[in-house]
């Protein structure tokens, strides 16, 4: 348990940040999952729409420090490549 007032404040801030980051991470995972589901279904148009909606959420979570910026850039790139390959495999 925090003894000093500054330590108590730090504990409150940490709890608040944890809750915020947990919500952001959950939203991030949900949006990525929607893209994954569209890719698995083989629906290129739906996957592109899902990625278009997910990308701002993904990059914002990186900007806010939930995940590393390069990690998110890599994930966006890989999802885009998988969506692109849907058309190549079907066409």
CATH number assigned to the domain comprising residue 69:
1.20.58.110
Q: Is the pTM of this model over 0.85?
A: no
Task: Give the chain's domain count.
Answer: 1
User: Is it the case that residue 7 has pLDDT exceeding 60?
Assistant: yes
Q: Name the pLDDT band for 22 (thresholds 50, 70, 90).
A: very high
Interatomic CA distance for residues 39 and 64, integer angstroms: 27
Which range marks the domain in which residue 20 is found?
5-90
Name the nearest CA neighbour of 35 among 21, 56, 65: 56
Residue percentage of the chain with pLDDT more than 70: 97
Alpha carbons 6 and 56: distance in angstroms, whole number = 36
Q: 54: which 2 tokens? A: 């997910």
pLDDT surpasses 90 at 90? no
């Amino acid at each position: 348990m925090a003894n000093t007032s500054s330590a108590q404040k730090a504990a409150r801030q940490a709890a608040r940040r944890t809750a915020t980051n947990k919500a952001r991470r959950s939203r991030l995972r949900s949006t990525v999952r929607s893209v994954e589901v569209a890719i698995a279904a083989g629906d290129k148009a739906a996957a592109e729409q899902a990625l278009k909606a997910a990308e701002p959420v993904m990059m914002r979570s990186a900007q806010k420090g939930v995940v590393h910026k390069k990690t998110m850039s890599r994930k966006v790139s890989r999802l885009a490549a998988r969506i692109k390959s849907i058309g190549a495999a079907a066409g």
